[in-house]
């Protein structure tokens, strides 16, 4: 096998439910010169057997003891042979021309060190364009602004290998927002682009880890934002404990954080229920999310209706 141009990292932990579909979407890419590193992080199901069933010399299974997502990703980064690294999580589905189109953008924009795209949400019954949150503009690019654009789905990432290694990959302390932490640090080290169109189907699941870790995720999102601004000002980052102590602890501030976090959780749950066809439950969570933070829903509706 010749040296691959692209290394695709697929971190896996008990992902048998959708793993075959994910791997199939990568197997049949229009771009062929890649390696796929399936990093099995100590799965106890038959995920490894599913990877082995794809009898393709480009697919390489790497098994390790369970040490967490960031460890699996960093192992893949260390093992990568390609000049570029792409990522796809175990339950997301890549469009057939995803790798080809992302590679071409990077070749056309040699000043860029990384590239992401938008997504289309995928549920058990429906799909959602995500136009309530972002403005789609097929064939166009923009430069990534971490605070303005927020966390992009890491399943869409396509990064120059050396650039990803130079920032130290993913940091476990920031899990479960390690992806946004990485994106912030990457954007601070060079130019990062966004393709303003979906190249990935992002699967929404009611049992996703997001729901189990939501409170931690919101707190670490604020910590990540604080770390970003500190680096911008050439100040040392705070530890998580130091950051907690730096936050306003009066009752009003704490209740306001809880209100906004709860609204986001209800909005996400509403979207999940809608995609699964549970319309009454979706409406219930949508109403609760609106009551808690009406301005957020208003912004989404205006963006969806007027595409701006």
pLDDT value of position 268: 76
For the chain, which residues make up each domain, given as ranges?
Answer: 6-203, 248-306
pLDDT value of position 261: 78
pLDDT value of position 204: 78
Q: Is the pLDDT of residue 87 over 80?
A: yes
Q: Is the pLDDT of residue 285 over 90?
A: no
33 pLDDT band (50/70/90 cuts)? very high
Q: What is the pLDDT of residues 156-202, one digit of tens each?
A: 999 999 999 999 999 999 999 999 999 999 999 999 999 999 999 99
Q: Cα 290 vs. chain centroid, distance in angstroms?
A: 25
CA distance 74 to 89: 14
CA distance 1 to 211: 42
- How large is the average pLDDT for residues 266-287? 82
Q: What is the pLDDT of residues 121-167, one digit of tens each?
A: 887 777 777 666 677 888 899 999 999 999 999 999 999 999 999 99
Among 89-93, 145-149, 281-285, 302-306, name the one with the lowest average pLDDT.
302-306
* 279-292 and 294-306 helices, crossing angle to 10°: 120
262 vs 11, residue with greater confidence: 11
- How large is the average pLDDT for residues 192-214? 83
78 pLDDT band (50/70/90 cuts)? very high
38 vs 259, residue with greater confidence: 38
Single pTM value for the model: 0.90
Q: Is the pLDDT of residue 269 over 80?
A: no
pLDDT value of position 262: 83
Q: What is the pLDDT of residues 227-249, one digit of tens each?
A: 999 999 999 999 999 999 999 88
Q: Is the pLDDT of residue 304 over 70?
A: no
CA distance 143 to 163: 17
Phi and psi torsions of 201, nearest 5°: -90, 115
Q: Does domain 6-203 have CATH number 3.90.550.10?
A: yes
């Amino acid at each position: 096998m010749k040296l691959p141009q692209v290394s695709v990292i697929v971190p896996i932990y008990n992902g048998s439910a959708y793993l075959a579909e994910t791997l199939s979407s990568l197997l049949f890419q229009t771009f062929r010169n890649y390696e796929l590193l399936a990093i099995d992080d100590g799965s106890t199901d038959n995920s490894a057997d599913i990877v082995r069933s794809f009898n393709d010399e480009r697919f390489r299974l790497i098994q390790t003891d369970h040490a967490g997502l960031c460890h699996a990703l960093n192992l893949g980064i260390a093992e990568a042979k390609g000049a570029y690294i792409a990522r796809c999580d175990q339950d997301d589905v890549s469009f057939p021309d995803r790798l080809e189109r992302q590679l071409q953008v990077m070749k056309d924009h040699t000043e860029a060190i990384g590239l992401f795209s938008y997504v289309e949400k995928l549920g058990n019954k429906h799909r959602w364009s995500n136009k309530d949150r972002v403005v789609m503009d097929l064939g166009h690019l923009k430069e990534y602004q971490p605070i303005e654009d927020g966390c992009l789905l890491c399943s869409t990432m396509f990064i120059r290998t050396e650039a990803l290694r130079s920032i130290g990959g993913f940091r476990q302390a920031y899990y479960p927002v390690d992806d946004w932490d990485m994106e912030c640090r990457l954007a601070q080290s060079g130019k990062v682009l966004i393709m303003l169109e979906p190249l990935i189907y992002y699967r929404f699941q009611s049992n996703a880890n997001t729901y189990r870790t939501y409170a931690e995720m919101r707190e670490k999102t604020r910590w990540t934002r604080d770390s970003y601004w500190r680096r911008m000002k050439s100040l040392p980052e705070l530890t998580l404990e130091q950051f907690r102590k730096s936050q306003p602890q009066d009752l009003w501030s704490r209740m306001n954080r809880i209100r906004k976090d709860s609204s986001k959780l209800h909005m996400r749950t509403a979207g999940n229920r809608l995609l699964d066809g549970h319309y009454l439950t979706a409406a219930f969570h949508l109403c609760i999310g609106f009551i808690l933070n009406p301005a957020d829903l208003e912004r989404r509706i205006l963006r969806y209706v007027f595409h701006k």
